[in-house]
Chain A
């Protein structure tokens, strides 16, 4: 289980992103400006898990949104995705469908119950992998803010590495046994744009 401090740190980063972004400029419908999106959702595949995402960026030309995000991907192996995010509103109207995509890295952060079955050992090393997401959604505005739901595909990859136990008493070169995870999921999220 992560420490309480770690969770508070991550949530603070997510919320701070929105606060700072909103403080920059008051948005108007169809106008350029900074934005913050906070999302919460679930992901399905062989397993299921919760996902949180916070994205901050710039909205321009009525359709485009470009930003960067951080998240908490609580799946078979928990991870923290860091990603670039792109959104396209199909219409300039307040309520519209939109498409989104993003890519970045997935930083592994496993709990002890998520360690592979390797002598109950904590990994000696972890390595990030690719994170991507793509999908469609629908947003509806209320005042200066917007609410949306979206569904799409999310991919995350992480590696957990172990220096192996030796079964022979002779010296052996240091190599890693690597557990490579690749998660391919459907994600359904609800979010709010500030």
Chain B
């Protein structure tokens, strides 16, 4: 009997344990070291009251350059413009900084400078470059920016995204969760994105703003700007108050613009597009050279267009790096003349047949382009990593490079002389 009692007890115990198994759960969590990027907003009121001249500051990241009389305006990407007194090119001096939040580009006509400031186009009186004055503003001139990985800039209620706060975290998800791709997650309610550390190490960037150095172009009394898939015309007859006229869709992502005679040459991700401005407020499409998918500026001289093509970019995933020369006497039908192999071409400039090509880490190339079908390199200057160049006068060359702003005397193209360098401050 006692034996049966024990057996019964054991059996009940086992049955109870089997029933208890329904209360137990296994778990599997996948943990991914990640980084949260949370956007920082600047209200529209603060944005539109921020432009002012300040004390000179260190150069941290060079952008577009412009020579205005004895002054150099050097864009500090996304922040504003350094004003540099270049009375003596051998010893340029930073004299002030114009704070323009979100500034990427500029164009100058007379004493009025046109700059972008995130979503606005602003006109500045630079008669006294050390004390600029805002004379006009086109509000919301540009579409609201979208960012990679789902960020949405809630301009109307929050303003513009000016920065991201980065915070390390551990992203925890249920194993094999089909709703998560394992590399990043976007929280729409918080408007934050969380990236696994292996997937992304830099803050998200706005789409359509990679690699451009010439998005503004002036022609007669009009300013033309390119932004993403649009070409916008502004009437600047009253220079101090630009008036937005038309926004023309372009069937490609536009990166650069170069006005020439009555035409606009647009560098896009699918080819070089040519628009005429016979009706200046409404540029009309005339032709395309599809072979070139250009992220870099097009320059035109004597009806010859010079275009650099750089491989391994969002514009051109191939390994082709070259300078293409085209006959554009008939802009509707550009005729390729010749292509020249390059190393890694970025921006370029031309002055009276003297061509300058920035080759990034490969250096700065000085070329004889008097004969467009027989362009030859006179000098490849190494030890410099240039990205943009402007030839001014007949002998001064301004170059923005990775480590600063250079000035060369190119009187002798085979032996250019370094006049000065303003270094970028190390972070």
Contact = CB atoms under 8 A, between A and B. Distances in A.
Interface in A140-194: 149, 151-153, 163-168, 170-173, 175-186, 188
Contact of A186 (B17, B28, B199): B17
Given A172-B201, A177-B196, A179-B175, A149 B26 contact: no
A179 B29 CA distance: 6
Contacts of A178: 30-32
A152 B198 contact: no
A45 B28 CA distance: 13
B319 to A, nearest CB: 14
A5 to B, nearest CB: 30
Nearest to A148: B10
Of the listed residues B26, B183, B200, the one surrounded by the most CB atoms of chain A closer than 10 A to its CB is B26
B197 A173 contact: yes
B17 A182 contact: no
Contacts of B40: none
Interface string A118-155: 10000000000000000111100000000001011100
Given A117-B176, A177-B32, A184 B13 contact: no
Given A46-B26, A186-B20, A166 B199 contact: yes
B150 interface: no
B3 to A, nearest CB: 7
Contacts of A168: 199-201
B199 A138 contact: no
A172 B26 contact: no
B207 to A, nearest CB: 15
B33 interface: yes
Contacts of B182: 118, 164, 177
A183 B25 CA distance: 7
Interface string A21-54: 0000000000000000000000011110000000
A131 to B, nearest CB: 14
B348 to A, nearest CB: 26
A176 B196 CA distance: 10
A76 interface: yes
Contacts of B198: 163-167, 172-173, 175, 177
A188 B14 contact: yes
B212 to A, nearest CB: 21
Give the interface size bracket for B toward A: 20 to 34
A92 interface: no
A95 interface: yes
Give the interface size bracket for A toward B: 35 or more
A152 B17 contact: yes
Contacts of A117: 175-176
Contacts of B32: 164, 177-178
A116 B198 CA distance: 19
Contact of B33 (A45, A95, A175, A188): A175
B17 A151 contact: yes
A58 interface: no
B200 to A, nearest CB: 6
Contacts of B13: 136, 151
Contacts of A185: 21, 24, 26
Contacts of A164: 32, 182-183, 196, 198-199
Interface in B1-49: 3, 6-7, 9-10, 13-14, 17-18, 20-21, 24-33
A64 interface: no
Given A151-B17, A172-B201, A175-B198, A116 B30 contact: yes
A97 interface: yes
Nearest to B20: A186
10 contacts: A97-B9, A149-B10, A153-B24, A168-B199, A177-B31, A181-B28, A182-B27, A184-B24, A184-B25, A185-B21
Interface of B: 3, 6-7, 9-10, 13-14, 17-18, 20-21, 24-33, 175-176, 182-183, 196-202
Q: Which 4 A-B pairs have the closest CB atoms?
A: A186-B21, A151-B17, A44-B21, A164-B198
